[in-house]
């Protein structure tokens, strides 16, 4: 037996598709299903969620390709989905007439594959050919096939790529930029393409010409073309790690000119404009711009050496830029203040040439109290039309359509209410973390809630990768949790992006435990306010949030009655060697470096699980086809806890990818399993 096996007796479970490991997973699944997924309560929860997911009354969100509006739709009759299209005039009607472009269920049956839709990239401006990406069972890896949007058929003898973590885009009708698995040494340590090549139609992939070659330790490389008429440009990008990158403008002769911006800055080029979002304070041309700002420059002037920057947005202690979107003549900013949105419309100076000038600014409106509003341009090359959505925890989504400068937007589609929201209220609270930081959280509860400490409460968070959790409507949560007598809480802990880069960076690497301290502070506040008590408080999170749950289990077990950890990282000693783990070193640190392992081990649940400790019951869910985080973490954590005598449960979906589900039916089952598990342990439905 090797020393690795002596150190880790569960290492054999890392053989993802090995029969022994899969047999073990099936045995654990059977135990979990027997205990938690065979009751009438479970079936009612599952059915309620599935009705929401399959509802024909949902809003069919669309994207514009050429003159038509496309939607990918799953329902009971089409579990794998339809890619379909309609006109804007039809889309405005209550029941649009759709034309099916591709029936994924029929294609899967014909191919004998469990295809999962990964999207289509269509060549502008003609939009007659597309590259369609299809995943087997929901993995990140996919196959790519060329599709004719006119005849609605796959192109015989057209571009086609085998299964890999592909990055492929159109250069022109006869050339692609391709990042794929070209053979040994062509992928990074993060399992993404290390090479990007230009591939000519009708030639073998092996003859594709290398455009750029990254390092093995990089995260990935890619190339793409901007086909905006009058502003056609090609770009190459080297993603050094999750947050640092380099971008070059690629000339027709293949030479590269670097965009001289900080490696950690996010950049976007649209028509004549370059937008820059520095993630650290940035001093340039005698001025310092704080992290999280949005800056504008004329692209050609900037590439020529000019450094005339216009400050479009500057954050403060409670405000951050959430997103931005272009229309033909305007820029829409989505700004968050204490995790509630407002929209602003910026108009660049006229003329398109010369100095930066002044950008006009006006409000597009804010969200109703404690809800979320978002807007985005429909076709930035043609007009100033935009879609706007408004939703909240108790407010089903409404979709509006408008044209900037032409009055108020018009309501276009309304999502139905899937539960009686009139019984509940939303409130925002602030807890104080261990270091004194003010941490916001949302609470959704019955209007007649009695603060006697007995309310079954589900606390959810993510806390990583600068991702924000904003108010959103969920018919599934409404049915499975709120209507059955529960309180639902969303904690906006550090590590997320609710207050911009600073909120995220406060919990990176050696400061990772702040996510746990923040989450615990919210839990303690809920208990102090009498909303719940440890026996009735459950915690849930997925992916990075699943890591958080593993740490709440091992570090704060006294606060919870049960924990659900979904598609999680848990073994932080080996995470860089598992699936795409190496791509997250910038977030967590490198366990191969002794000084970094010293702090990483403090938030490695697998390392810190102890026999003899008192832990609440925990459920770990995962997917065999998850090639991003992988099933290994959950398998090993569950096995270790069982060996130590703890109350642990496990379920591994044999398909589904990082979402742990390949279709609505599987999604409903996985969601219902988590809710049923919590109801079993922290409170029965009323």
Residue 382, helix vs strand vs coil: coil
Burial letters for 171-186: b for 16+ Cβ neighbours within 10 Å, e otherwise?
beeebbbbbbbbeeeb
State residue 356's pLDDT score. 54
Cβ atoms of 89 and 68 closer than 8 Å: no
Catalytic residue positions, numbered: 543, 658
The pLDDT tens digits of the residues spanning 186-245 come to 999 999 999 999 999 999 999 999 999 999 999 999 999 999 999 999 999 999 999 999
- Picking from 617, 632, 477, 510, the residue whose alpha carbon sits closest to that of residue 568 is 632
The Cα–Cα gap between 452 and 442 comes to 19
Residue 619: which of 554, 526, 558, 539 has the closest Cα? 539
Q: pLDDT (tens digit, 9 = 90+) per residue, 445-472?
A: 999 999 999 999 999 999 999 999 999 9
What is the pLDDT, as a whole number, of residue 353? Answer: 42
Cα 682 to the center of its chain, rounded Å: 29
Average pLDDT rounded to a whole number, residues 351-358:
55
| pLDDT of 91 strictly over 60 | yes
Write down the pLDDT at residue 282. Answer: 98
Tens of pLDDT along 473-485?
999 999 999 999 9
Find how far residue 357's CA is from the centre of its chain: 36
pLDDT per residue as tens digits for the range 110-156: 999 999 999 999 999 999 999 999 999 999 999 999 999 999 999 99
pLDDT, one tens digit per residue, over 42-52 is 999 999 999 99
In the predicted structure, residue 354 carries a pLDDT above the cut 50: no
Angle in degrees, 0-180, between the axes of helices 664-682 and 40-54, rounded to the nearest 10: 140
Sign of CA dihedral 30, 35, 36, 38: positive
Mean pLDDT of the 523-544 span: 98
- Maximum alpha-carbon separation in the chain: 74
**Listed residue (419, 456, 671) closest to 567, CA to CA:** 671
pTM here?
0.95
pLDDT at 3: 40
Residue 351 pLDDT grade (very low, low, confident, very high; cuts 50, 70, 90): low
pLDDT of residue 686: 45
Return d(Cα 174, Cα 310) in angstroms, integer.
39
Specify the pLDDT at position 685.
44
- For the cut 70, the answer to whether the pLDDT of residue 4 exceeds it is no
Say if residue 352's pLDDT is above 70: no
Q: Which class would CATH give 418-682? A: alpha beta
Using the predicted structure, report yes or no on whether residue 2 has a pLDDT greater than 60: no
Is the per-residue pLDDT at 1 higher than 60? no
Cβ(483)–Cβ(49) below 8 Å: no
pLDDT surpasses 90 at 320:
yes
| Strands 537-542 and 562-566, bridge-based pairing | parallel
Cis status of the peptide bond prior to 129, with omega within 30 of 0: no
pLDDT value at residue 6 = 54
The domains of the chain are located at 264-315, 333-417, 418-682
Q: Can you tell me the mean pLDDT for 517-534?
A: 98
Q: Over pLDDT 90: what percentage of the chain?
A: 95
Tokens of 236: 């190459």
Cα–Cα distance between 526 and 524 in angstroms, integer? 5
Integer Cα distance of 286 and 308 in angstroms: 11
pLDDT 10s digits, 485-503: 999 999 999 999 999 999 9
542-596 pLDDT per residue, tens: 999 999 999 999 999 999 999 999 999 999 999 999 999 999 999 999 999 999 9
- The pLDDT of residue 533: 97
Q: What is the mean pLDDT of residues 84-108?
A: 98
Q: How confident is the model at residue 404 (pLDDT cuts 50, 70, 90)?
A: very high
What pLDDT shows up at residue 684?
55
- The tokens describing 26, both together, are 């099936």
Q: Is residue 422 classed as helix, strand or coil in its secondary structure?
A: helix
């Amino acid at each position: 037996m090797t020393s690795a096996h002596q150190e880790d007796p569960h290492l054999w479970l890392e053989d993802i598709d090995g029969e022994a490991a899969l047999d073990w997973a099936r045995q654990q699944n059977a135990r979990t299903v027997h205990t938690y997924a065979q009751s009438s309560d479970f079936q009612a929860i599952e059915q309620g969620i599935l009705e929401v997911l399959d509802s024909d009354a949902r809003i069919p969100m669309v994207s514009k390709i050429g003159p038509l509006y496309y939607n990918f739709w799953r329902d009971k009759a089409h579990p794998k989905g339809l890619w379909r299209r309609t006109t804007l005039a039809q889309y405005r009607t209550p029941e649009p007439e759709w034309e099916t472009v591709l029936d994924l269920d029929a294609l899967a049956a014909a191919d004998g594959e469990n295809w999962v839709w990964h999207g289509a990239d269509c060549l502008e401006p003609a939009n007659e050919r597309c590259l369609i990406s299809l995943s087997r069972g929901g993995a990140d890896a996919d196959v790519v096939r060329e599709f004719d949007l006119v005849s609605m058929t796959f192109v015989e003898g057209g571009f086609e790529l085998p299964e890999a973590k592909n990055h492929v885009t159109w250069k022109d009708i006869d050339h692609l930029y391709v990042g794929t698995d070209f053979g040994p040494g062509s992928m990074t340590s993060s399992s993404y393409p290390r090479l990007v090549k230009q591939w000519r139609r009708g030639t073998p992939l092996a003859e594709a010409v290398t455009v750029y070659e990254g390092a093995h330790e990089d995260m990935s490389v890619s190339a793409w073309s901007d086909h905006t008429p009058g502003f056609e440009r090609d770009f190459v990008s080297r993603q050094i790690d999750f947050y640092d990158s380099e971008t070059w403008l690629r000339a027709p002769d293949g030479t590269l000119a670097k965009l001289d911006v900080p490696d950690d800055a996010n950049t976007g080029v649209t028509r004549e404009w370059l937008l820059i979002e520095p993630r650290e304070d940035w001093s340039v041309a005698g001025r310092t711009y704080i992290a999280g700002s949005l800056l504008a420059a004329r692209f050609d002037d900037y590439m020529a050496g000019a450094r005339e920057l216009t400050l479009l947005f500057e954050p403060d202690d409670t405000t951050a830029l959430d997103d931005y979107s272009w229309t033909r003549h305007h820029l829409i900013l989505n700004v968050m203040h204490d995790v509630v949105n407002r929209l602003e419309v910026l108009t660049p100076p006229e003329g398109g040439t010369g100095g930066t000038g002044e950008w006009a600014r006006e409000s597009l409106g804010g969200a109703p109290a404690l809800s979320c509003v978002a807007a985005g341009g429909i076709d930035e090359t043609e007009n100033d039309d935009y879609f706007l959505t408004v939703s909240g925890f108790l407010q089903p989504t409404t979709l509006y359509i408008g044209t900037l400068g032409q009055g108020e937007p018009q309501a276009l589609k309304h999502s139905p209410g899937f539960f009686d929201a009139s019984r509940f209220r939303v409130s925002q609270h602030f807890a104080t973390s261990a270091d004194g930081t003010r941490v916001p959280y949302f609470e959704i509860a019955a209007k007649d809630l009695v603060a006697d400490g007995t309310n079954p409460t589900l606390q959810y968070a993510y806390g990583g990768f600068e991702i924000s959790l904003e108010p959103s409507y969920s018919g599934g949560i409404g049915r499975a949790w709120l209507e059955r007598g529960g309180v639902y809480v969303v904690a906006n802990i550090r590590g997320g992006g609710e207050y911009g880069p600073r909120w995220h960076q406060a919990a990176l690497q050696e400061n990772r435990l702040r996510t746990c301290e923040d989450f615990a502070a919210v839990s303690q506040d809920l208990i102090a306010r009498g909303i719940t008590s440890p026996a009735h408080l459950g915690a849930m999170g997925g992916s990075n949030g699943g890591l958080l749950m593993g740490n709440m289990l091992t570090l704060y077990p006294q606060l919870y009655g049960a924990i659900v950890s979904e598609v999680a990282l848990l073994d932080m000693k080996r995470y860089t060697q598992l699936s795409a783990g190496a791509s997250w070193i910038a977030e967590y640190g490198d366990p191969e470096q002794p000084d970094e392992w010293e702090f990483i081990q403090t938030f490695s649940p697998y390392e810190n699980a102890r026999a003899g400790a008192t832990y609440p019951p925990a459920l770990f869910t995962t997917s065999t086809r998850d090639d991003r985080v992988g099933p290994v973490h959950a398998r090993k954590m569950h096995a270790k806890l069982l060996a130590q005598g703890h109350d642990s449960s496990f379920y591994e979906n044999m398909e589904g990818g990082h979402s742990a589900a390949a279709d609505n039916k599987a999604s409903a089952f996985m969601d219902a399993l988590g809710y049923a598990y919590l109801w079993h342990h922290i409170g029965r439905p009323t």
